[in-house]
Homo-oligomer: A and B are copies of this chain.
Amino acid sequence: MHCIVSEAEAILDKEFPVLDKGFVRLVDYMGGDARVVQSARVSYGAGTKTHREDDNLIEYLMRNRHTSPFEQVALIFHVKLPIFVARQWIRHRTARVNEISGRYSVMKDDCYLPSIEDIAFQSANNKQGRGEPLEETSAEQVRSVMERGQKDAYSAYQALIGKGVARELARVNLPLSLYTEWYWQIDLHNLFHFLELRLDTHAQKEIRLYAEVLFNITKKVAPASCAAFERHVLKSIVFSADEAVEIKNRLAKREGVLHGKDLDRFEEKIATL
């Protein structure tokens, strides 16, 4: 039986904007919290049927990393996103993708231009991230340099297309900021894994914004599963073997075991609790 979730029905096919020109749109979904419960009960048989309510069962599954029932729910998203974001996104291999092809179609003149407040310096302590924002005038300069670069690249592309040069060749100098579009189908378990990595503060801000919209949409489809994921995975905290000993000792008012960088990292973790 189809599993119809009225909150999800209400947003089906609606475009949720992301970045300056992108969007995420829920094209279809199969299943929801009820499907998770239903397929878990296949595994565990009649034995547990009467003993747990649905939400408790979902909590239990998530807490104990019984992931397979979450795989029975599937979602399809239509996404418009810059190519450099698409390149990070596609590293998740457990999804099914249909992307617009620059060999078949003339690409549209849509490039991602960061907003002034997103233009920032290289982070001093994070090799892969952004630090302080540039002051406004500098940021505006950077932005207009970027805009110019995008216009020039697209004009050159158009000129080549106009000459009849093959699309697959004309497009090779288009920038990574160019928007592409795809259908992306994924099951709920693997979507959670995607979200865990891409909602993380170490993910590049641009893909993180997509992850946030994906998560908000997914909450409409499977709210109890999302709540359990948030509690037991997303906002959970992992302590290494020796950090665990440190906690035990501290709670028992005994001497700690960590030193140096290990201790620093532990204090940092505790501070964020």
Contact = CB atoms under 8 A, between A and B. Distances in A.
Interface of A: 1-3, 12-13, 27-31, 35, 39-40, 42-48, 63-65, 68-69, 71-72, 74, 76, 78, 82-84, 86-87, 90-91, 93-94, 96-106, 111-112, 114, 118-123, 127-131, 134, 138, 142, 145-146, 149-150, 152-153, 156, 159-160, 163-169, 171-177, 181-183, 185, 187, 197, 202, 204, 230-232, 234-245, 247-248, 250-251, 270, 273
A247 B106 CA distance: 40
Report copies per complex.
Answer: 4
Nearest to A43: B98
Main secondary structure of the interface of A (DSSP, over half): mixed
B1 A84 contact: no
A266 to B, nearest CB: 11
Nearest to A30: B30
25 contacts: A2-B2, A28-B31, A30-B74, A42-B98, A42-B183, A43-B100, A47-B105, A47-B127, A71-B96, A72-B96, A74-B185, A86-B87, A103-B129, A112-B172, A129-B166, A130-B169, A134-B163, A142-B160, A145-B160, A149-B156, A152-B152, A153-B175, A172-B177, A235-B241, A250-B251
Nearest to A108: B45
A167 B13 CA distance: 35
A208 to B, nearest CB: 12
Nearest to A3: B28
A245 B48 CA distance: 31
B247 A247 contact: yes
A28 B35 contact: yes
Contacts of A172: 82, 84, 112, 114, 146, 175-177
A97 B169 CA distance: 26
A68 B247 contact: no
A105 B127 CA distance: 9
Contact of A99 (B43, B98, B120): B43
A64 B102 CA distance: 19
A244 B237 contact: yes
Given A42-B182, A104-B47, A239 B240 contact: no
A64 B127 CA distance: 14
B149 A153 contact: yes
A142 B161 CA distance: 11
A165 B273 contact: no
